[in-house]
Structures are given as structure tokens and as C-alpha cells.
């Protein structure tokens, strides 16, 4: 159930961010749902491999290289999902930062509610 809720909120955030950022386009809500699922799968399977291969760069930059990895994941999703386009690296970086921030707010609020 938690996974479905995360996918739902990620879908909503993808739609909102696509309307706010001029370099990110999503054709419809089904595409946004597909983006949410693909992003989840890429974060599960591809991101750990990228983090492992770029560990020296991540350590050298004190973890800031993880932002680049997040942008790469967004660009991979752009290539995999038809109807989802990102204008370039900087829009992907900004999109990933804002999406991560929104997702962390939802996780924080859900953990707060579960404690009460």
C-alpha cells in the first residue's frame, strides 16, 4: 500500500513540476504515472550501480555528485518514456531536486502521522 501511495504522489508531483518548469513536458497523467513507475524502477536497479561506479567522485565531492546521478536518472527516464521530455541536463537537475524535495515532504508528513 505504501508503494502505491508513493507512486500516486510522485505522479502528482511530476504533473505539477511539468507545468511549472518550462523545460519539462508531460503529455498526460498516464505518462506521468509511467514516469513515476520508471523512476522508481531506475532508482531501485540502476542508481545503486551508478553510485558504486562513481564512488570516488562522490567521496571527493562530499556527496554532491549524487545530484548529477539523480539528473542522469531523470534523463534516462526521458529516453525510456514516450511523452516525457526534459530539455537538458540543467532542467533534469532542477526537476530531480524539486521532485526529491516534494517526495521527502510527503514521507516526513506520513511518518509524523504514523507516530501520532
3-state secondary structure of 22: coil
Summary mean pLDDT of the chain: 95
Own/partner pairs for 82-86, CB < 8 Å, 24+ apart? 82/31, 83/26, 83/27, 83/28, 83/31, 83/34, 84/25, 84/26, 84/27, 84/31, 84/32, 84/34, 84/35, 85/24, 85/25, 86/23, 86/24
- The rounded percent of the chain whose pLDDT value lies above 90 is 87
Q: State residue 14's pLDDT score.
A: 97
Q: State residue 110's pLDDT score.
A: 80
Sorted by sequence, the CB contacts under 8 Å of residue 24 that are 6+ apart come out as 17, 18, 85, 86, 87, 91, 95
Interval 18-65: pLDDT, tens: 999 999 999 999 999 999 999 999 999 999 999 999 999 999 999 999
How many Å is the Cα radius of gyration of the chain? 14
Q: Is the pLDDT of residue 100 over 80?
A: yes
Amino acid at each position: 500500500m505504501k508503494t502505491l501511495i508513493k507512486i500516486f504522489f510522485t505522479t502528482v508531483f511530476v504533473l505539477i513540476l511539468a507545468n511549472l518548469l518550462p523545460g519539462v513536458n508531460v503529455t498526460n497523467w498516464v505518462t506521468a504515472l509511467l514516469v513515476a513507475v520508471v523512476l522508481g524502477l531506475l532508482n531501485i536497479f540502476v542508481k545503486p550501480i551508478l553510485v558504486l561506479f562513481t564512488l570516488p567522485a562522490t567521496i571527493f565531492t562530499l556527496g554532491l555528485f549524487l545530484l548529477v546521478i539523480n539528473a542522469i536518472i531523470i534523463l534516462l527516464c526521458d529516453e525510456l518514456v514516450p511523452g516525457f521530455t526534459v530539455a537538458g541536463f540543467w532542467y533534469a537537475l532542477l526537476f530531480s531536486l524539486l521532485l526529491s524535495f516534494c517526495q521527502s515532504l510527503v514521507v516526513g508528513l506520513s511518518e509524523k502521522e504514523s507516530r501520532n
